[in-house]
Amino acid sequence: MNKGRMEAFSDGVLAIIITIMVLEIKVPHGVEFSDLTSLIPIFLSYILSFIYLGIYWNNHHHMMHTVKKVSGGILWANLHLLFWLSLVPFVTGWMGENHFAQNPVALYGFILLMAAIAYFILQGQIIKSNGKDSVLAKAIGKDIKGKLSPVFYIIGIGFAWISTWVSGAMFVAVALMWLIPDKRIEKILSE
Amino acid sequence: MNKGRMEAFSDGVLAIIITIMVLEIKVPHGVEFSDLTSLIPIFLSYILSFIYLGIYWNNHHHMMHTVKKVSGGILWANLHLLFWLSLVPFVTGWMGENHFAQNPVALYGFILLMAAIAYFILQGQIIKSNGKDSVLAKAIGKDIKGKLSPVFYIIGIGFAWISTWVSGAMFVAVALMWLIPDKRIEKILSE
Amino acid sequence: MNKGRMEAFSDGVLAIIITIMVLEIKVPHGVEFSDLTSLIPIFLSYILSFIYLGIYWNNHHHMMHTVKKVSGGILWANLHLLFWLSLVPFVTGWMGENHFAQNPVALYGFILLMAAIAYFILQGQIIKSNGKDSVLAKAIGKDIKGKLSPVFYIIGIGFAWISTWVSGAMFVAVALMWLIPDKRIEKILSE
Amino acid sequence: MNKGRMEAFSDGVLAIIITIMVLEIKVPHGVEFSDLTSLIPIFLSYILSFIYLGIYWNNHHHMMHTVKKVSGGILWANLHLLFWLSLVPFVTGWMGENHFAQNPVALYGFILLMAAIAYFILQGQIIKSNGKDSVLAKAIGKDIKGKLSPVFYIIGIGFAWISTWVSGAMFVAVALMWLIPDKRIEKILSE
């Protein structure tokens, strides 16, 4: 089984997901900047999802680096991850068009949570297939970010019906946590 | 003729097909979860088609592995397969939006059947071009799954006007048959 | 300049063009097969364009094979070709939705003609850059198909206002001429 | 970190952006050529954006050529560039559908400006990571075009509310400046 073609297919799907999201930003009919106002929440959702998909692509890339042989389990765990990520444009659109209403915000968090779980399963399949002493197994030993993310998502989902601002803050916090280069964030987290 | 570029093109088309299907899941205007209820059949259709395309990508990959030289026949048989698969988003949308009505379910089965036939033709072209003693010719010697699938599709199409549940069960059964790793399924089938 | 990345980009654009055309086949609201009747011309247009793009991808692939160095001229001639091909989904949709009305059929032929001219320019740039004794220069020495195609397109465009059947026959004839493997067609043409 | 996969992902995103723009050219319902008249500004916008994305792809390709190691900074600077380019189909649609009205023209220029800044940041990250004596650092020493482009964009944005013709001329001028092969333009600029 060829790792290269699995990477190429994943890259293709991620590139398409990240790009078709922009189709949700429907061109307004008016020519005033005020006609763009109603697009602001859609645009903010787009930015957040763009960053999330960028993070997934980046991490996916690093994780694949450690893979030596691709088992059937890895292949389907990978498709499972792509499945949840493929729903990101849908929830991004629902959340944005409804100006961060409670239910759409909660569903957005749910999809992020499922993607995180799918990523976790993929990680497990890779370690299972490449050995407990593999590079990946060692690298994720102290995977604080990986463990914190689902917690943040669950808090975000729960707060959706209390304050969507807290939910938003949670989702942004996870994105920032992954965006900031590893060394610095690990320093912060270990303080 | 370069095998790599044919794989890359096929990967690209499959990645796009699998991803644009999500555009059929139109963002609802309401913010209640009940507004998502009408999307459930669309969503279920999406999952089924996502799995089917994943299986095709996976099998396509394995089959291409055995190819040594790409003839004109292989190239057009491959485009013929991609043609039928490119219609999957359309029939998925028609079936989902109409809550698994009889005709759309039958057409869905028909497209699956045509894709299976196209796959069969592609297989034949590869064997023809690479010799009867080739890896692929030997591998598909006892191709029980490949022979059962069209039978299941035809049963599924026929039952569409009697009970769409039977049709659905047939289409899901074929997907499961291919999803379960080879050794186990072959054991089951040879019992 | 790297030939591989130009091929990858062209493959990507062609794969997307060929696949987004299917988005023009809008899912009908009814569940009767008669609801699909109005889609038949759209579907026929889709098949024709799918075959044309397949032929372009195939020929593009063969032509690129002979390229040794990629000049700026080749790069822009290639983008110029992709530009006209990117308009194929639009004219396919216009022709299909209007059941092969006169003007859309003529425009369809015009886009095919422009793509053929763009292909011709690209060929010229490659020969210019790789030498008159290059593989490509020799291969296209007796390029009967390349010379006949624009003639057929122009006849097809002209007949659009007399009989769209003739136009359609011209466009199908060109596609068949390229589809049938070289040796046979050259035999037919030289008879 | 693998340069190849970053190139492949960027190629994928650029190929999709350049192609989905065509979806903004909605198929008209009428069959007269006059029904296409209202599409002319959309079509002109499409051509301009197609050329801009072609230039970005071309330059991106050349710049990546000089990269030896891909740092986290390069990766995110690249995604930042792709983000602004992903908005090109939206502003192209808004500008085209509103027949080059003042605000859409200004926003179009703004997105071009942000993409130019993002490209500049990416350049900085590559030089930072590959050394001040790197190929890129030397190559952009006299980067007249890179310095002129933002000036032209800003003039274009400012003139949007005075004369959109001047804005359009500015945007076309930048495109031409990059399209014309280096030696000639540098000769012109140094005169």
Considering only the beta carbons, identify the residue of D79, D87, D102 that sits closest to A22: D87
- Are B24 and B89 in contact, with CB atoms under 8 Å apart? yes
Would you call D71 an interface residue with chain A, using a CB distance cutoff of 8 Å? no
Average pLDDT over residues C115-138: 81
Q: What is the pLDDT of residue B190?
A: 53
Q: A175 and chain D: CB distance < 8 Å anywhere?
A: no
Contact with chain A for residue D28, Cβ under 8 A: no
Contact A9 B28 (CB under 8 A): no
Give CA–CA dist C151/C147, Å, rounded.
7
- Chain B interface includes A34 (CB < 8 A): no
For residue C14, which of B12, A72, D131, A175 has the smallest C-alpha distance? B12
Contact A11 D13 (CB under 8 A): no
Q: Do A75 and B65 lie within an 8 Å CB cutoff?
A: no
- D182 CB-contact burial (10 Å; exposed 0-12 / middle 13-18 / buried 19+): exposed
The shortest CB-CB distance from C101 to any of D25, D31, D179 is to D31
d(CA B158, CA B155): 5
- Report the C-alpha gap between B10 and B79 in whole angstroms: 8
DSSP state of C70: -
Task: Work out the mean pLDDT of chain B and round it to a whole number.
Answer: 86
Q: With 0-12 CB in 10 A as exposed, 13-18 as middle and 19+ as buried, what is D65?
A: middle
- What integer pLDDT is reported at residue D136 of this predicted model? 64
B111 falls in which pLDDT band (50, 70, 90)?
very high
B11, B14, B31 member nearest A104 (Cβ):
B31
The structure tokens listed for D43 are 């079509």
Residue percentage of chain A with pLDDT more than 70 = 87
Range D6-25 average pLDDT: 89
Subunits with 3+ C-beta pairs closer than 8 A to A: B, D
Structure letter (DSSP) for residue A191 = -
- Answer whether C32 sits within 8 Å of B103, measured CB to CB: yes
Q: Which residues from B are below 8 Å from A87, CB to CB?
A: 22, 25
Mean pLDDT comparison of A110-114, B22-26, C131-135, D97-101, highest-scoring range: A110-114
Residue C188 CB contacts under 8 Å (≥ 6 apart), including other chains: none
Quote the pLDDT of residue C133: 62
Please give the single-letter amino acid code of residue C188: I
Residue A94 CA, distance from chain mean position: 17
Burial class (CB in 10 A: 0-12, 13-18, 19+), C187: exposed
- Residue C106 contacts residue C160 (beta carbons within 8 Å): yes
**Number of structural domains, chain B?**
1
pLDDT band at B107; cut points 50, 70, 90:
very high
Nearest to C108 by CA among B146, D31, A77: D31
Could you tell me if B59 and B178 are in contact, meaning their C-beta atoms sit under 8 angstroms apart?
Answer: yes
Tell me: the pLDDT tens digits for B26-78? 888 888 888 898 899 999 999 999 999 999 998 888 888 778 778 888 989 99
Determine the Cα angle at D111 with ends D110 and D117, to 5°: 90
By three-state DSSP, how is residue A63 classified?
A: helix
Q: Helix and strand tally (H, E) in chain C?
A: 9, 0
Domain that holds residue A17: 3-190
B7, B10, B11, best to mutate vs chain A, most A CBs in 10 Å: B11
A144, A186 contact by CB (below 8 A)? yes
Read off the pLDDT of each residue in B8-32 and give the average, rounded to a whole number.
Answer: 89
Residue from the list B75, B86, B89 with its beta carbon closest to the beta carbon of C58: B75
Residue B35, number of CB atoms within 10 A of its CB: 16
The answer, yes or no, to whether residue A182 has pLDDT greater than 90, is no
Judged by phi (left if over 0) then psi (alpha if -120 to 50, else beta), residue A109 lies in alpha
Contacts (Cβ under 8 Å, ≥6 apart) of A120: A146
String of DSSP letters for C98-140? TTS-HHHHHHHHHHHHHHHHHHHHHHHHHHHHH-TTSHHHHHT
Most confident of B27-31, B107-111, D181-185: B107-111
SS3 per residue for chain B: CCHHHHHHHHHHHHHHHHHHHHHHCCCCCCCCCHHHHCCHHHHHHHHHHHHHHHHHHHHHHHHHHCCCCCCHHHHHHHHHHHHHHHCHHHHHHHHHHCCCCHHHHHHHHHHHHHHHHHHHHHHHHHHHHHCCCCHHHHHCCCCHHHHHHHHHHHHHHHHCCCCHHHHHHHHHHHHHHHHCCHHHHHHHHHC
Q: How many residues in chain A?
A: 191
